[in-house]
Amino acid sequence: MIQVNFDKGNGLVPVIVQDVHSRAVLMLAYMNEESLRMTMDTGRATYYSRSRQELWHKGETSGHFQHVRSIAVDCDADTILLTVDQIGAACHTGHKSCFFRSMTEWEKTYTGNLSMLSDLREEISEKRVHPTEKSYTAYLLQTGIDKICKKIGEESSEAIIAAKNADPVVKDTSAEADNLRLEVCKESADLLYHLSVLWEDTGVTGNDVMKVLEERSHVKGNKKTVGHLDKTF
C-alpha cells in the first residue's frame, strides 16, 4: 500500500474532498495517521481538527456524513483526495460546498458543467420527499410514469424540431442562427429535466447512466447495429 508522508506537515496532511457524483470540490480538511486509518476501516470520513486538537468524525453531530468512495494520494504522497457520497451539506454554513464565495466576478458567467445534473437530481429527490402544491416536479412524480413518459415524448419532438431548424445554419454566425442554436439548447434542457424525473421515478441516477456511457467508451470495438451496418461507439 502507498505510504502517506505525514512528516512534511508535522503529522498532518491536507485532504481535498470531492463529490463522487458532481465532481465538485466540497471542502479541505486535514488527517493524521489515526484519522486516515479510521476512514479506511469505517468507510466514513474522519478528520483531525487543528483547532480542537482531536479527531473529527464528519457528520457526527450534524448527520451530514461523508461515505467514502475512493482515496487517492498525490505524486508527493503528502496530499489526499477523497471522493465521497455527501449526505446533506458539506459546509457548516449549510451550503453544499465550503467554496461558495467567489473572489472574482467570473461566477456571473455560466460556463456549463455536468455537475448541474447532480444538483438537479437532488432537487428532484427533495420534491419527492417534500412535495409542494405548486411544484411541477412533484406533480409529475405523483401523477406517475405514464405522464412522465408522455412529456418525454413531447420534449423529444420539440428538440427534434429545434435541431432541424438549426441544422441548415450550423456554420452561420449571425444573431438569427445563434437564436436557433439557443432553441436547441433550451429544448435539450427540457428533455434532460424530464429524463431526470424519469430516472428518479424508476430509481436510476444520472451517475448510473454516466457509468454505462463510460463502460461503452472503454470497450474496444463496441458496436451498434445501424440498419445492415455495424458502427463502433
DSSP class of residue 167?
A: G
Looking at residues 155-181, what average pLDDT do you find? 95
pLDDT higher than 80, residue 231: no
Q: Where in the chain is the domain with CATH 3.10.20.810?
A: 13-86
Three-state SS string over 95-159 comes to CCCCCCCCCCCHHHCCCCCCHHHHHHHHHHHHHHHCCCCCCHHHHHHHHCHHHHHHHHHHHHHHH
End-to-end CA distance of the chain: 36
pLDDT higher than 60, residue 85: yes
At 23, give phi and psi (nearest 5°).
Answer: 70, 10
Which of 98-102, 162-166, 171-175, 208-212 reaches the highest mean pLDDT?
162-166
Question: How do residues 193-228 score in pLDDT, each as one tens digit?
Answer: 999 999 999 999 887 888 898 888 877 666 655 555
Q: Which of 49-63, 106-120, 144-158, 168-182 is predicted least confidently?
A: 106-120
CATH architecture, domain defined by 13-86: Roll (3.10)
CATH architecture, domain defined by 113-218: Orthogonal Bundle (1.10)
Question: Is pLDDT larger for residue 226 or for residue 47?
Answer: 47
CB 71 within 8 A of CB 80: yes
Looking at residues 23-44, what average pLDDT do you find? 95
Q: Where in the chain is the domain with CATH 1.10.287.1080?
A: 113-218
pLDDT value at residue 167: 95
Tell me the sheet residues that pair with 19: 84
The cell numbers describing 220, all together, are 474496444
pLDDT value at residue 11: 95
Beta strand 13-19 pairing with 80-86: parallel
Question: Is pLDDT larger for residue 90 or for residue 225?
Answer: 90
pLDDT higher than 80, residue 51: yes
pLDDT higher than 60, residue 104: yes
Looking at residues 131-141, what average pLDDT do you find? 94
